[in-house]
Amino acid sequence: MTAIIGAGIDRVDAALKVTGSANYPNDVAYPGLAHAALVRATVAAGRIRAIDTSAAEAAPGVLTVITHLTAPRLDRGPMTLLGPSPPAPIQDDRILHHGQHVAIVVADSPERARHAASLVRVEYETVKALLDLDDPRAEVTANPWNLDTDRGDVAAGFAAADVVVEGTYTTPDNTNNPLGLMSTVAIWHGDSLTVHDSTQWPHNVRTSLAKIFKVPESGIRVLAPYVGGGFGAGLRMWPHVILTVLAAREVGRPVKLVLTRPEMFTSVGHRPHSVMRFKLGATRDGRLMAIDADGVSPVAMEDDDYEPVSLCAATAYGCSHVRTRDRQVRLNIPCPGSMRAPAEGQGNFGLESAVDELAHALGMDPLELRLRNFAQADPESGLPWSSNALRECYRLGAERFGWSRRTPQPGSMREGRWLIGYGMAAVSYPAYQVPCQARASLHRDGSAFVRSAATDIGTGTYTVMTQLAAESLGLDVSRVRFDLGDSDMPYSPQAGGSGLTGALGNAVHLACRRLVGDVLDLVRDDANSPLRGMKLDDVTVDQGRVHRVGIPEQGEAYSDILARHGVEELSADGRSIPPRSEDLGMAVAGAFGAKFVEVRVDPDLGLLRVARVVSAIDGGRVLNEKTATSQIVGGTVGGISQAMFEDTATDRETGRIANATFGDYLIPVNADIPDIDVIFVGEPDPATPIGTKGVGEVGLVGLAAAIANAVHHATGRRIRTLPITIDQLM
Ligand code: MOS
């Protein structure tokens, strides 16, 4: 049999997607479906003085208009793995940010709902909004997750340093903007509820709705078989989902809400802007002696999101003296949330820019400086890494890129009017795992069905889990169906934090192994079976058969065993639990990466072009080179986008987002994206049975710094503020 894992297979859902047959939440239709539209606040802070819904209620086709005056009191959702739930919407007259939901209108068509929403008249009493990080009136909160770092003696470290660099780096608000507009369809059947939702985490939606609407979890089913991207926007259950469920109960019909693109900017989180300070000290020969880092980001008035932007400095390099501090400032803004490598995406830009500044100050090659400070062991715990191929990333990435052709002096490489710059950055992505469950069933015909309530946000989860199950059961992939996106399936955590492939993959693997064990149990005393009395370790699986290790003839097909024993279907559950460094005696490692970028700058016109990118990635075991490469390519596009394009602009007077459309919010087009070269290095990680480390976010991180560092090499100009715009290059 050819290897199922590695080079991999095409996406199992490819045909469904390209033929439009994959059912996304906003494709869902029901007889009698009603449609909702939102009314949002047009001021950033204050109170609703009056709200007049009479014109909206009288408009054609309108079924209901719900405001804070008519909505029931609802509990706040539960504490989750990712922090507290957002507060319940339309509970009182207070306005805490521009774009806050103030009413939901339901009508018999989307157009009539939207029209009626435009007829709702709201009068506000406004107060001066808090919109700036340095507003002295704003509350500053410490990071509640205890993620600050104090290691060694930072003052002594700097005292022993020959060279110190320090810089302030800022990143803007960015908006997740998955292509699929986030949608919810809610249907009540008596006291039970079905919800189709653009979520990255169906079980969280179920748990949250159960608490808020005071119904048992067993009465709620959340479906998300396809989601049009997430980028983190679907990690939390946001208030518009609650409003849709409330509206469906009110009108006694199924209700659909599809957020508009402008609503996507204020309703489902965003990457918060940050101001970061990184200070690095090193000896003349490039040994890092001390790192001191601070980060500040905004958070909403009554919601929570924590972005430890400086934390990446704690474990990226072997350095004995490190201090990191992250603080949040409460502002009148839509709540930030995780977006595409949250915190790392911002922090790595500051840290890896500062490392480049240090290399320049030392007169040392930036690659050499990083090699000299490679963290031999996990700097926090002192434990050896479960695996770390960062040096191979450096070596093979540099080789592929042609880093040795770089001449050190800024502005020294040129082609015609274009200044050429080579820049690089490193990534040490944190490991993230949470428990996950899966169930595997073997049918009498020898085919298998495996499932878990996970989501595939476009990353290839359906495909790699089909492969893993096929490998673990010894079946051809065509004999395995993997299903997901249904909260009635076994528990899965969110598709996020680069953690799902590991958590779910290990659960699938364990379920399949247990299933093979159950097959052996069937024949334990079976005189007709060549497998009689055998244990899991005695056998191997291949081509739909179980046989003795090394002796293919001594075995039999699943279908024969099940038929002989009159078993229609055999099922087994698997539950993965996160590997713990303390138990393993090694630090469970996340992915590593080295990013190399060539830019071209036209100094007269301020033009910046990314000409080439090489990403060398240690993601542990790669299950499917095609989908894993896609992840890194997609992340690279996101990184270029972060570096050069994306910038959510908020008007500092009104708190209104000024560019909340795809016409105004810049994202790269095909012509902005060069050849993207991806190399996977490293080995299966020994911390878990399947050996993956997660490649969801490591692709994005590092690009912003590598591009800014390349700009410095091209022009001698140090860019400390994203995005890199023409005015910074003129
Ligand atoms: Mo990702 S921002 O953890 O969906």
Q: Is the CB of 386 under 6 A from ligand 1?
A: no
The preferred substitution site among 177, 198, 235 for testing ligand 1, maximizing ligand atoms within 8 Å of CB, is 235
Give distance in angstroms: CA of 171 to centre of ligand 1.
Answer: 18
Over range 117-133, report the average pLDDT: 98
pLDDT tens for each residue of 399-450: 999 999 999 999 999 999 999 999 999 999 999 999 999 999 999 999 999 9
Long-range contacts from 26-30, C-beta under 8 angstroms, 24+ separation: 26/180, 26/181, 26/183, 26/198, 26/228, 26/256, 26/258, 28/183, 28/185, 28/196, 28/256, 30/185, 30/187, 30/254
pLDDT band at 34 (very low <50, low <70, confident <90, very high): very high
Neighbours of 98 (CB within 10 A): 23
Contact by Cβ (8 Å): 300, 86: no
Pairing of strands 46-52, 94-95: antiparallel
Residue 349 pLDDT greater than 90, yes or no = yes
Q: Residue 350: pLDDT above 50?
A: yes
Judged against a pLDDT cut of 90, whether residue 3 lies above it is answered with no
For 672-685, the pLDDT digits (tens) are: 999 999 999 999 99
**Ligand 1: which atom is nearest the Cα of residue 339?**
2
AA letter at 540: T
Atom of ligand 1 nearest to the CA of 696: 1
697 catalytic, yes or no? yes
Prediction ipTM score: 0.98
Q: What integer pLDDT is reported at residue 146 of this predicted model?
A: 78
User: Quick one: pLDDT band at residue 1, thresholds 50, 70, 90?
Assistant: very low
Which of 250, 263, 352, 697 is catalytic? The answer is 697
Counting from 1 in the atom list of ligand 1, the atom nearest the Cα of 496 is 3
pLDDT tens digits, one per residue of 501-547: 999 999 999 999 999 999 999 999 999 999 999 999 999 999 999 99
CA–CA distance, 51 with 54 (Å, rounded to integer):
9
Query: Mutation test of ligand 1: which of 176, 236, 305, 340 has the most ligand atoms closer than 8 Å to its C-beta?
Result: 340
Summarize pLDDT for 170-203 with one digit per residue, the tens: 999 999 999 999 999 999 999 999 999 999 999 9
- Separation CA 451–CA 446 (nearest Å): 17
pLDDT digit string, tens, across residues 73-89: 999 999 999 999 999 99
Q: What is this structure's pTM?
A: 0.98
Q: Whose CA is nearest to atom 4 of ligand 1?
A: 232
The answer, yes or no, to whether any atom of ligand 1 lies below 6 A from the CB of 496, is yes
Is the CB–ligand 1 distance for residue 235 below 6 Å?
A: yes
The closest of 419, 354, 351, 349 to 722, measured between CA atoms, is 349
Share above pLDDT 70 across residues of the chain, in percent, rounded to a whole number: 100
Q: Does residue 356 register a pLDDT over 80?
A: yes
What mean pLDDT, rounded, does the chain reach? 97
Query: Which residue in the block uniquely carries the two structure tokens 């994206």?
Result: 673
Average confidence (pLDDT) over 32-56:
98
Average pLDDT in the 29-49 region? Answer: 98
> Could you read off the pLDDT of 134-169 as tens digits, one per residue?
999 999 998 778 789 999 999 999 999 999 999 999
Q: Is the pLDDT of residue 223 over 80?
A: yes
Number of other residues whose CB lies within 10 A of the CB of residue 111:
12
Per-residue pLDDT, averaged over 451-459, amounts to: 97
Structural domains of the chain ordered from first start: 25-129+179-229+234-267 (3.90.1170.50), 274-432+584-729 (3.30.365.10), 434-578 (3.30.365.10)
Q: What is the mean pLDDT of residues 472-499?
A: 97
Q: What is the pLDDT of residue 229?
A: 95
Q: What is the mean pLDDT of residues 580-584?
A: 95
Beta-strand relationship, 414-415 and 288-300 = unpaired
Q: Pick the atom of ligand 1 nearest to 457's CA.
A: 4
pLDDT single digits (tens) 305-348 = 989 999 999 999 999 999 999 999 999 999 999 999 999 999 99
Cβ–ligand 1 contact at 232 (below 6 Å): yes
From residue 51, how far is each of 72, 121, 251, 332, 654 by CA, in Å?
17, 6, 21, 21, 20
Is a pLDDT exceeding 80 seen at residue 265?
Answer: yes
Separation of CA 339 and ligand 1 centre (Å) = 6
